[in-house]
Amino acid sequence: MTTNNIKTLHSISAIQPLVEPDKKCCSSNNCNNSEQQAPQNPQDNSKNSQLESWKVSGMDCPSCAQKIEKAVAKIHGVDKVQVLFATEKLLVNFAHPATVQQIEQACQNAGFTLNNLSSPLSESANNKPTNIVKDNLQIMSIAAAMLIGALAKIWSPEISQWIFTLTCLVGLYPIGKKAIQLAKSGTPFAIETLMSVAALGALYLGETAEAAMVLLLFLIGERLEAFAASRARSGVQSLMELVPENATKIINDERVIVSAASLQPGDIVEVSPGSRLPADGQLQDDTASFDESALTGESIPVEHLKGDNVMAGSIATDRVVRFMITSKQGENAIDRILHLIEDAESRKAPLERFLDKFSRWYTPLMMLVALAVIITPPLVFAQPWETWVYRGLALLLIACPCALVISTPAAITSGLATAARRGALIKGGAALEQLGKVEIMAFDKTGTLTQGKPDVTNIIGLNNTNEKDLMRYASAVELGSNHPLATSFIRKVEAQGIAIPEASNKQALAGVGVQGEVDGKLVQIISPSKMKLPLGTETLRQVQQLESQGKTVVVVTLNSQTAIGIIAWQDTLRSDSKLAIQALHKLGIRSIMLTGDNPRSAEAISSQLSMEYKASLLPQDKVTFVEQLAQQSQVAMVGDGINDAPAMKAASVSVAMGGGTDVALETADSALTHNRLTELPAMIELSRATLANIRQNVTLALGLKAVFLVTSLLGITGLWVAVLADSGATALVTLNALRLLRFEPKSTD
């Protein structure tokens, strides 16, 4: 188990802090590039601009994030602004230091509280419980006043009317004030505006009790939204809590308790059993086991050896251990995952982008429709003004797009959080949506379907070349290469105590082999299918026999004239490869193995997995083949190496194995931090469940609006039912989205 986990160790720590902003978020052929392009991150800016970040308090739903962005974007000198709803963070690039105060004032005017993350913790950073208590007290006060008003109606209807009117006006004051602030900051059609118009209109019509009820239901709905939002963010917040606040630092052989935020690379810390590592570190003890389940989803403790890197948030399980810190402040494994989650918010799903655009013109349009409902019947058909003003106000409340706008981001946020909990990092809603549409899944072979740790199985000398000389020549050319076949062969040579000579003019022959000069002779190590030198009948028979056993075979030649030997390796399949392919087939997904290996070896491997294959592919051939598939179907590419990156970028959506290279992890739309292939069908199921959830939410939001729109126009339902329909729909779609947090795939049964 130790050996298998050494490669997996770097699964998260290799992930870069931020994905390139110009990276595609969807490569389906019918996508518009300008629409698919994710907005650039505020960190990508001119040298003259500075970046500042704030913690935002008071955001109840993603629409709040849009309000803040609009308010800040209007400030002169602001270059870029982004609000990260999942981590409650505001990022702004601006040119002049004086802009800081303007940004904070603009957000305060819009009804939100900021805490500068670069300054010492202020009181505003912890005002959330106070806000919750304040909101609950407001709801309870209005409910109590309404109860008093209802009781007063028994002996004095006039006093009851005044109680309801005052209750509504007092409760409406902060809402109306916020509506004016939002209108000034660039959001004139907020729900607060609609509520203020509807409540004042009800008071004008003398419907004082109903106006107060509308206000009460609105506040309850807002509180439910805030609760649902906090639940949706709970996964991210629990991730942030994995890093302890304090650490035991070793200074002059003494234990000193220090803040985890003060740790720097090179510091030595001590971690007791049951405690979490405060930063990424290098193990200083001979061996120790760690629970990495919170980061990788792998429940079995992982054993690490001296010098191994261990991720922040891991739990020491069996002994007191010491580490040398390797990560800077804000750059540990947990921070990198949080950066990915934050960056994912800018990579919206196509449906989410459509709904964002839809909501921009939908609300103004519905206000015009409501106005038409109010004035048309009285002016054209001589209907009573009171009746149609009332119905128009009800229509105005029903038309609120909150439930529709939140239907998609709520489901996607829950889906991404669930994927992260299972050890799958998906970079945004676009990737999550594309995974659900995959029809074909292409796999790299080495390191993806196989362990990526091939063993040398055969060393055969040819033309009177002894085995030792063959190993000397071949190892000299292979020395220094990071290719799994090369490193495996070098280990074999060193284990036998054979001295490796120096080779000059070493060169990689892409897709063919390698060459170099040893003792003045040109030594080439080439795939049999790419050889120009004719091989003898017996040599060909030996090569074919080895390849038919699923082995990777190369021929070593001298001066391009003589074949001096055959070397063969065999890589073992991952234990869960077959189960993963079977599960994908049950989901109706074709699986194809893409490999540069020879056809006989590829067929031997693919037959064990019951999947299709394409062999003898150069990196460019993989790209061409994936592009051809993508023209006909939705294609996912799964790989782990640098040579897989171009094909991964050509696919509709891509998945990197967590133990792979940095390039593959950066290129991919998602990554498996634990290297379990069985999580692939689970990701597909989760994506499909998320898409189904979105369809349910949109249907629910629009369906309720359609029903109550008709009943309001016919005079069957009134204002308070309209508010209940809007708040209820918002709460229902959010709660429905939260069901994804409990998602369990059928493929794991």
What is the residue-wise DSSP string for 352-407? HHHHHHHHHHHHHHHHHHHHHHHHHHHHHH---HHHHHHHHHHHHHHT--HHHHHH
- What is the rounded average pLDDT of the residues 183-208? 76
Residue 388 to residue 410: CA distance in whole angstroms: 35
Res. 316: pLDDT tops 80: yes
Q: What is the pLDDT of residue 353?
A: 61
Side-chain-side CA neighbours of residue 486 (13 Å): 16
Q: Which has the higher per-residue pLDDT, 338 or 514?
A: 514
Cross-strand pairs, 567: 459, 554
Res. 345: pLDDT tops 70: no
Structure tokens at 714: 């016919």
Q: Which has the higher per-residue pLDDT, 58 or 653?
A: 653
Residue 94 to residue 102: CA distance in whole angstroms: 11
Residues designated as active site? 444
Q: What angle do CA 160, 163, 168 make, to 5 degrees?
A: 130
Res. 579: pLDDT tops 90: yes
Res. 29: pLDDT tops 50: no
Query: Which DSSP category does 84 fall into?
Result: E
Residue 739 to residue 301: CA distance in whole angstroms: 29
Express each pLDDT in 488-498 by its tens digit: 899 999 999 99
Res. 617: pLDDT tops 90: no
Cα 414 to Cα 236, 428, 693, distances in angstroms: 10, 12, 10
pLDDT confidence bin for 223, thresholds 50/70/90: confident
Secondary structure class of 138 (helix, strand, coil)? helix
Residue 235 to residue 229: CA distance in whole angstroms: 11
Express each pLDDT in 385-443 by its tens digit: 988 988 888 887 777 776 777 778 778 878 888 888 888 888 777 888 889 999 999 99
Cross-strand pairs, 290: 302, 316
Residue 653 to residue 655: CA distance in whole angstroms: 7
pLDDT confidence bin for 675, thresholds 50/70/90: confident
Express each pLDDT in 352-375 by its tens digit: 566 666 666 777 787 788 889 989
pLDDT confidence bin for 663, thresholds 50/70/90: low
Structure tokens at 507: 């060169």
At position 745, the amino acid (one-letter code) is P
Counted residue by residue, the chain has a size of: 749
The phi and psi torsions of 422 (rounded to 5 degrees) equal -90, 0
Express each pLDDT in 498-547 by its tens digit: 999 999 998 887 667 889 999 899 999 998 888 888 888 899 999 999 98
pLDDT confidence bin for 231, thresholds 50/70/90: low
Query: Using an 8 Å Cβ cutoff, are 53 and 91 in contact?
Result: yes
Query: Using an 8 Å Cβ cutoff, are 511 and 484 in contact?
Result: no
Contacts of residue 85, defined as CB under 8 A and 6 or more positions apart, other chains included, come to 59, 62, 64, 65, 229, 233, 345, 409, 413
Q: What is the pLDDT of residue 70?
A: 84
Q: What angle do CA 391, 194, 349 make, to 5 degrees?
A: 115
Query: Using an 8 Å Cβ cutoff, are 94 and 103 in contact?
Result: yes
Query: Using an 8 Å Cβ cutoff, are 350 and 26 in contact?
Result: yes
Residue 556 to residue 177: CA distance in whole angstroms: 81
Structure tokens at 209: 């009790």
Give the mean pLDDT of the chain: 80
Report the relative pairing of strands 521-526 and 513-518 from DSSP bridges: antiparallel
Q: What angle do CA 538, 544, 548 make, to 5 degrees?
A: 150
Express each pLDDT in 244-279 by its tens digit: 888 999 999 899 999 888 889 999 999 998 888 999
Closest CA to 79 of 49, 37, 106, 117: 49
Residue 414 to residue 500: CA distance in whole angstroms: 55
